[in-house]
Amino acid sequence: MNKPIFHAEAEKSILACCFESSECIPSVMKLITTEDFYIKEHQIVYDAIRDVFEKTNTGDIMAVAARIKEQDLVNRIGGLPFLYDIIKYHVADVVNWKYYVEIVKENSQMRHFRQALNKADSQITPDTFQEAIETVMRAIPKEVDMESDLIPEIYKDWYEKFLRGEDIHDNEKDMDTGLHFFDKHHTTGRRGSMMVIQGHPGAGKTSLLWNIFYHRLITGYKGLYFSTEFKRDMAVRWLAAQATGIKLWRLIKGERKYFDDDEMERLQEVYHNISRFGKGWLIDRGRPSLSFIKATAREKKIQDGLDFIVLDYLQHFSFPGKFDNRVQAMSDFLYELDALNKELGVQVILASQLSREARKMGKPVSWGGKGTGAIEEAAWVVGTLSGTELDPGNRGIPQEDWDLKAEHNEIYTLSITKDRTGPQGTMVPMVFEKECVRFRDLTIEEMDFYEQHSNGKGRY
């Protein structure tokens, strides 16, 4: 609970909105004060905007610059170019000004509340317990109560435990993937983080992403899936194959003669569940741009709530700039995407294709060569998906007699090259059931078989 609570992007967005349209300034001024901004430079700029607006009824950037210069505060913001950078490099949609204000206001309330919590927690003894409770209550603004959305769930839980005299700790839940070995040892669902799944074409990246998407939807989370390959009807068939275990090609055919009564019943149940979700959205637009992704995600977050975003896959999205500078454009895309997931408090799961050079060398290097650094920098977890040519159904058969036909299952591994809070260099094994395009955990017998034939790699 010691990490500063603020949102730099939201603070910049408010200032950018004020510069872009003076019409929103009166409303902004009614809702937030200078002290609601955490970053000192933003406080100075916001103060200047207020002063200029009160005198001229505008938020003219030249007048704001003159006001800051008049107050001899130019050096405090690092120079006047700081103002122009807000507009030049920070694209804010003016119609969303209220959303940005809500974020900044909420963070301000959280900082204020946390100060009181820390003070109470440090001073509490059996003799001062009631006094500590009163300290916490005084920290809550009069217009806010414990049912308010301005008090985040973590602090509501803290307060309830505090009243009961229980130990206080951060119990924020990590969204899992449904794959036990992966979830047990790695931070697979941390909000505000990015998870990257790498692999060569045909490695199963899309199947794994749909696996995670479907699992989270049925466990109550809300997800947004940007697909550059699937249309909605194909996506539904893909989900149905994973949920029922029915071969995908039969679902694509879609004729009644391909299904027995039991399979039809299972299909009806799955389709009914999919229709009831209402918490998962597929965007099948060709090559979405970053601005489109941001606008769509923010809209879903505001209107319906949003827990995670899936992008399949990185190289198919639209990057600004010339093709010869594509690596830099991809880096900028990733950094902006990372800022978005922190702004919205969601997790981004991203698929990325391995480069041709990486496939030749057999090394987990991302597409784009130098672009690999951007992935490593922005991502919280990076895993490289690949097959092992081990068929768990052929246990006990000599290797030279293994039958590797397409209809058989295969053991795949997800090589974890980065995890900021977990082990790195590990191999997460899973079975890929090819015909119903889904991944699952290994059974005990399959795990023994895998460890015997993988030279001990992948052991935890």
Q: What is the pLDDT of residues 156-195, one digit of tens each?
A: 554 555 455 444 433 356 788 988 888 888 888 888 889 9
Cα 50 from Cα 73, distance rounded (Å) = 15
Residues of the chain where predicted confidence (pLDDT) is lower than 70? 1-3, 88-93, 116-173, 271-278, 319-327, 355-374, 394-408, 455-460
Q: Parallel, antiparallel, or unpaired: how do β-strands 223-227 and 280-283 relate? A: parallel
- Is the entire prediction scored with pTM above 0.85? no
Coil, strand or helix: which one is 374? helix
The neighbour count for residue 396, using CB atoms within 10 Å, is 5
| Separation in Å, CA 94 to CA 20, 99, 339 | 7, 10, 19
Question: H or E stretch including 453?
Answer: helix 444-453
Distances (CA, A) of 194 to 34, 217, 398: 32, 18, 41
250, exposed or middle or buried, with CB in 10 Å at 0-12, 13-18, 19+?
middle
Question: According to the model, what pLDDT value does residue 332 have?
Answer: 79
State the pLDDT at residue 391.
78
In the chain, what are the domains?
1-172 (1.10.860.10), 180-453 (3.40.50.300)
Of the chain, the end-to-end C-alpha distance in Å amounts to 30
Q: Provide the pLDDT for residue 46.
A: 95
pLDDT of residue 403: 52
Closest CA to 439 of 167, 226, 166, 245: 245
CB of 186 closer than 8 Å to CB of 423: yes
Residues 6+ positions from 220 with CB-CB distance below 8 Å = 279
pLDDT for 247 equals 84
CA 305, distance to chain mean position in Å, is 13
Cα angle 420, 426, 427 (rounded to 5 degrees) comes to 130
Whole-number pLDDT of residue 133: 52
Tokens of 20: 């872009």
Tell how strand 381-390 and strand 347-353 pair up.
unpaired
pLDDT of residue 155: 45
- Cβ contacts of residue 373 below 8 Å, gap of 6+? 331
| Confidence (pLDDT) at 370 | 41
Q: Is the Cβ–Cβ distance between 220 and 214 less than 8 Å? A: no
Give the distance, in angstroms, between the CA of residue 206 and the centroid of all CA atoms in the same chain: 17
Q: Is 283 helix (H, G, I), strand (E, B) or coil?
A: strand
Q: Which regions of 52-171 does DSSP assign to beta strands (E)?
A: none
Q: Which amino acid is at 276?
A: R
Reduce the DSSP state of residue 386 to 3 states and report it.
strand
Give helix then strand counts, H and E, for the chain: 18, 9
Sequence-ordered alpha helix ranges (H) in 219-303 = 232-244, 248-253, 261-277, 290-303
Q: How many CB atoms lie under 10 A from the CB of residue 327?
A: 17
Return the SS3 of 417: strand
- Tell me how far apart the alpha carbons of residues 173 and 188 are, in angstroms, rounded to a whole number: 11
